[in-house]
Amino acid sequence: MLTCPICQGALQSVDNGVACPADHRFDRARQGYLNLLPVQHKNSRAPGDNQAMVEARRRFLDAGHYAPLAARLAQLAAERQPRRWLDIGCGEGYYSTRIAQALPAAEGYALDISREAVKRACKRAPQVEWLVASMARIPLADTSCDLLASVFSPLDWQEARRLLPPGGGLLRMGPTREHLLELRQRLYDEVRDYDDEKHLSLIPQGMHLAHSETLSYELRLDDAQARADLLAMTPHGWRASAERRAAVIDSPLSVRVAIRYDWIQRD
What is the pairing mode between strands 12-14 and 129-132?
unpaired
Answer yes or no: is 87 within a domain: yes
DSSP string, 164-220: PPTT-EEEEEEE-TTTTHHHHHHH-SSPPP--TTGGGGGPPTTEEEEEEEEEEEEEE
Q: End-to-end CA distance of the chain: give it in Å, rounded.
A: 22
Answer yes or no: is 6 within a domain: no
Answer yes or no: is 3 within a domain: no
Answer yes or no: is 5 within a domain: no
Answer yes or no: is 1 within a domain: no
- Pick the closest to residue 77 from 53, 55, 49, 105 (CA basis): 105
* Model pLDDT, residue 168: 98
* Model pLDDT, residue 39: 73
What is the pairing mode between strands 17-19 and 25-27?
antiparallel
* Model pLDDT, residue 43: 56
The phi, psi pair for 261, rounded to 5°, reads: -110, 130
Is 122 annotated in a binding site? The answer is no
Structural domain total, the chain = 1
What is the tens place of the pLDDT at every residue in 134-150? 999 999 999 999 999 99
Is 90 annotated in a binding site? The answer is no
pTM: 0.94
Answer yes or no: is 116 within a domain: yes
Q: DSSP assignment, residue 38? A: -
Q: What is the dihedral of CA 136, 76, 65, 178, to 10 degrees?
A: 80
Is 7 annotated in a binding site? The answer is yes
Q: DSSP assignment, residue 128? A: S
Is 24 annotated in a binding site? The answer is yes
- Pick the closest to residue 168 from 194, 144, 150, 136 (CA basis): 144
* Model pLDDT, residue 52: 85
What is the tens place of the pLDDT at every residue in 148-170? 999 999 999 999 999 999 999 99
Length of the chain: 267
Answer yes or no: is 154 within a domain: yes
Is 92 annotated in a binding site? The answer is yes
List of the chain residues with pLDDT < 50? 44
CA dihedral sign, ordered 196, 197, 201, 207: positive
Amino acid at 261: Y
* Model pLDDT, residue 47: 55
Contact 220, 252 (CB under 8 A): yes
Contact 161, 206 (CB under 8 A): yes
Answer yes or no: is 213 within a domain: yes
| Domain span at 78 | 12-266
The CATH number of the domain where 177 resides is what?
A: 3.40.50.150
Is 199 annotated in a binding site? The answer is no
